[in-house]
Amino acid sequence: MTRGGSTARAAGIVTLVVAGLLGSAYVLGRSLVPDQPPPHSAGATTSADGPRYADQPSIGEPNAAPTTGAAPRNSAGPTATGPAEAGQDGTGRDAGGDNLFGAHATTGTPRLALTFDDGPDPRYTPQVLALLREYDVRATFCVVGENAQNHPDLVQSIVEAGHTLCNHSWHHDVGLGARSPDAIRSDLLRTNAAIRAAVPNAPIVWYRQPGGAWTYPVVSVARQLGMTPLHWSVDPSDWELPGATKITATVVGQAQPGSVVLLHDAGGDRQGTVEALRRILPDLTARFELEALPTDPT
């Protein structure tokens, strides 16, 4: 072999070795750089229908989540079936494994209760009140504190019509149950204060955790403040805007004695719920006695 050939071969070997070393260094360097997390969306949305509550995560601490054991809105059990199917007892604990920490999921009587969340709302709450008045039905309104503060006249209309009030947190905070007891207490007291600014003497004896995300601390604080935790047994998921026909079919099909029906009069476009209520009320009033939840629960 000639000297020129040996030199070329040696240069080729050196080139391969250098390339290999550079490749190894690149791989090592990449392994030391942490993966970039995907961008996080805030979740809070607004629209012409006002703030959307039913589908938003916790406000203030976007990464907060309910602690282990919380029952989310769309979990199996009481949100998907009636009390007989889910095996619920009067305390809200069901045989399917969901622990509601003592929250009531039924009325405990043969009577049926309609409940409306996230209001009051100046567009939809008056329509709901008018339909309830037409059928002489009393219901329970789980109001959001900031909405009670912004629309005290509607809170007054709810009480004057004989309906029951329920605390639904200040800003529909799904992660509230994961916070400290002091933070939970402050939120619930702030909401009660806004309600009582509108209706000073109205009893507030029920509390509903947004998203159904129950934890022991939120149940405990609510009870310490004299409020009974309130869940539900019929959920047509009207906050997902399935349309009046589907909302009607779910409520009419699943309603049975003792049911607590979850509907919404705010938190987004609720016209489908209003139209469904127009169809639901003739059926339910023909089959059941409807009641506002009592202001002195035991």
The residue among 144, 134, 135 whose CA lies nearest residue 268 is 144
Take residue 67 and report the two structure tokens written for it.
């602690």
Task: Tell me the CA distances in angstroms from 104 to 15, 23, 82, 234, 254, one per residue in order.
Answer: 75, 63, 13, 13, 18
Q: Residues 195, 165: contact at Cβ < 8 Å?
A: yes
Pairwise CA distance, residues 199 & 271, whole Å: 27
Instruction: Work out the burial of residue 276: count CB atoms within 10 Å of its CB; fewer than 13 is exposed, 13-18 middle, 19 or more buried.
Output: buried
Task: Output the CA angle 54-57-63, nearest 5 degrees.
Answer: 170
Q: Cis (ω within 30 of 0) for the bond into 120?
A: yes
Catalytic site positions: 117, 264
Pairwise CA distance, residues 283 & 46, whole Å: 34
